[in-house]
């Protein structure tokens, strides 16, 4: 399975931007990069995905390195409700393969 590497945890102040890094050096040319997040006691929730170009949606932005071996999820203004585990995922075949993710703590 294609692997991703993320920091175990990060901390941010409320109302400030957050950059969550992910390394995926074994990514293949056709692998999309997916980000999901999981709030406490909830199932994972889709955040964003991309292939080569940077992507924006109402929740976040995804910046993908030119060689595609790393990417960064950007939350433009963190709120307390963004405190969650963030997973960077490469879809393997027909399934999402999750790692341990990054625990994001947001301080008020």
Total number of residues binding other proteins (CB under 8 A)? Answer: 21
78, 60, 5, 29: CA torsion to nearest 10:
-170
* Distances in whole angstroms, Cα of residue 84 to Cα of each of 9, 19, 44: 10, 14, 10
Out of 25, 54, 56, 100, point to the residue binding other proteins (CB under 8 A): 100
Helix-then-strand count for the chain, H and E:
0, 10
Question: From CA 31, how far away is CA 82, in angstroms rounded?
Answer: 26
Q: Are 95 and 102 in contact (CB under 8 A)?
A: no
C-beta of 18 vs 88, nearer to other proteins: 88
Report the nearest approach of other proteins to the CB of residue 14 (Å): 25
59 belongs to the binding site for other proteins (CB under 8 A): no
**Contacting other proteins within 7-46 (CB under 8 A):** 32, 34, 41-46
Out of 87, 90, 104, 106, point to the residue binding other proteins (CB under 8 A): 87
Out of 7, 21, 49, 61, point to the residue binding other proteins (CB under 8 A): 49
Q: Please give the residue ranges that form the binding site for other proteins (CB under 8 A).
A: 32, 34, 41-46, 49, 85, 87, 91, 93-101
């Amino acid at each position: 399975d294609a692997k991703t590497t993320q920091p175990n945890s990060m901390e941010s102040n409320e109302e400030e931007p957050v950059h969550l890094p992910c390394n995926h050096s074994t990514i293949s040319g056709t692998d999309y990069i997916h980000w999901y997040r999981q709030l406490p006691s909830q199932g994972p929730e889709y955040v964003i995905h991309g292939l080569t170009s940077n992507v924006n949606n109402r929740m976040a932005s995804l910046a993908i390195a030119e060689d595609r071996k790393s990417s960064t999820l950007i939350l433009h203004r963190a709120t307390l409700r963004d405190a969650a585990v963030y997973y960077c995922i490469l879809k393997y075949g027909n399934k999402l393969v999750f790692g341990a993710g990054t625990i994001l703590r947001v301080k008020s």
